[in-house]
Structure 1
């Protein structure tokens, strides 16, 4: 059987675990996986809001990417139906957000969403609390991406496609949806309210985590 060289790209989700207190070593997000009788593979811990420019200083990643036969991403990002497949996991069943949250809780979340995005919460009234929290993340997460500096996840898969390399999704959209939106609506509500009430603390922790992980300090 042909031995293939893989580069596995995983997403670092800020907030799922505590950030490190000490500065990371130079290659803390890029690891080689090797063993007797197998061809080396590589594991790169990416972040959805970090742009391709981050790789400009990591020649070792670029060289291993070029030498790899297969690129394994978190999801197949070129799936045109990805938003439609994920949408059902983000919606409430038999209720609405203004019924899940009491009046004061709804106002708290609505005011915060308006502050960070300019949008009214009533446009998200069909979403479950985790869906709303994910939407807020789009406006508050530290990011370096723009139209000329695509996100790392997208860049890896675009590179693979342009160089005719095989692309594999580690998870399906449905599998990820079941994981990300797991938990009762009540538990999702608790996490959403905690995120809003501690927004500055959460943002600072996220920024510090990205600075440490991606060596920007």
Structure 2
């Protein structure tokens, strides 16, 4: 999910673009613990549920091989879309590594690709998107200092932005998760979206105390006595999202609710693509599962602020760390790909960046 998908940018402006929010919502998984505290939510579905999603691409390959072939062809146009683990080298500088993560607690994701654990063990410093994940209470306090990032502070509620039909859709979608709309009506729509994007099995693991990959990497590093550095603050992450007009977020939220149980299939498909290192397939896949019920107004601005700008910020803040060598950088996998992804940006800075087979 990067502007680097510009070779197919015209496709991203078609109806159905709003459901691409699913990717960004998954990136907000690290905020789930805050969501539950801030909203006082006790999701009924977050207990003893297994993952039930199916791989949408396996189904497509069997039922519509031509469509699947077209998706593969589109994915091939995306730079650096076939690996989640990269070696970063420059003469005279100790080798560093770049791992694309998926912000989920799936044990298969936590296992990491071959060689990643060894690379991390040999590193001098581990770098994650935000080191604030190490102290959730402190990070929550910082977010509460800017309540407009998580809650509506303009005297309105989310129902003020909904048509009667959309309100019924949202109420029904939240009800399946054991949450009354009245309990979250003043929560910002992007916070609700980040919650709705998560399948019940992910909620159950989180409720049981499981960590997502990025947090586990950071905590393990601290326990080993090595430093952890962050490339962004959570205020910066949420601030980028909050800067997008609310109408876009409202439409995105409703589209996600309408996907219903299909969100489980989306998560399963994305996870299995990630495990294969085929992250270039994720965006083309999402464009095909998105419903054609709304125009993608605001997506270009969303893409610019939430993806591209963050890629450049993370790259800029990574360069001094890379110059010292011996770093293990772990950020969301979709920040690696494309013409303005981290792999390309590091290459432009003079580094040789190659996939680790």
TM-score, scaled to structure 1: 0.79
For residue 98 of structure 1, what is the aligned residue in structure 2? 159
Further displaced range: 207-216 or 47-56: 47-56
Measured on the aligned residues, the alpha-carbon RMSD in Å equals 3.2
Name which of 102, 107, 128 aligns with 2:188.
128
Compared CA separation, residues 44 and 145, structure 1 to 2 (3 A): farther
For 2:211, what is the secondary structure of its paired residue?
coil
Counterpart mapping for 1:63-102 below 5 A: 63-76=118-131, 77-79=133-135, 80-87=137-144, 88=147, 89-94=149-154, 95-102=156-163
SS at match of 1:180: helix
Select the structure that is richer in helix: 2
The one-character-per-residue Cα deviations of 1:162-199 (angstroms, maximum 9, x if unpaired) are: 11111111101111111233311111111111112233
In structure 1, the partner of 2:228 is 167
2:99 to 16, 28, 44: 44
Q: Could you tell me whether the CA contact under 8 Å between 1:91 and 1:127 is conserved in 2?
A: yes
Greater length-normalized contact order (CA 8 Å, ≥ 6 residues apart): 2
| Post-superposition offset of 1:207 | 1.8
**1:50 & 1:119 partners in 2: Cα distance?**
23
- 1:42-98 Cα shifts (integer Å, max 9, x gaps): 111111213455454744111111101111111111233222333520211321112
Contact 2:102 2:109 in 1 (8 A): no
- Cα gap change, 1:52 to 1:159, in 2 (>3 Å): farther
How many residues end up aligned between the 2 structures? Answer: 201
Give the whole-Å Cα distance in 2 for the aligned partners of 1:148 and 1:90: 23
| 1:30 aligned onto 2:85 | yes
> 1:14·1:209 contact (CA, 8 Å) conserved in 2?
no
| Structure 1 unpaired stretches of 5+ | 1-12
Instruction: Tell me the distance in 2 between the aligned counterparts of 1:195 and 1:141.
Output: 18
Matched, 1:193 2:254: yes
Q: TM-score of the superposition, structure 2-length normalised?
A: 0.50
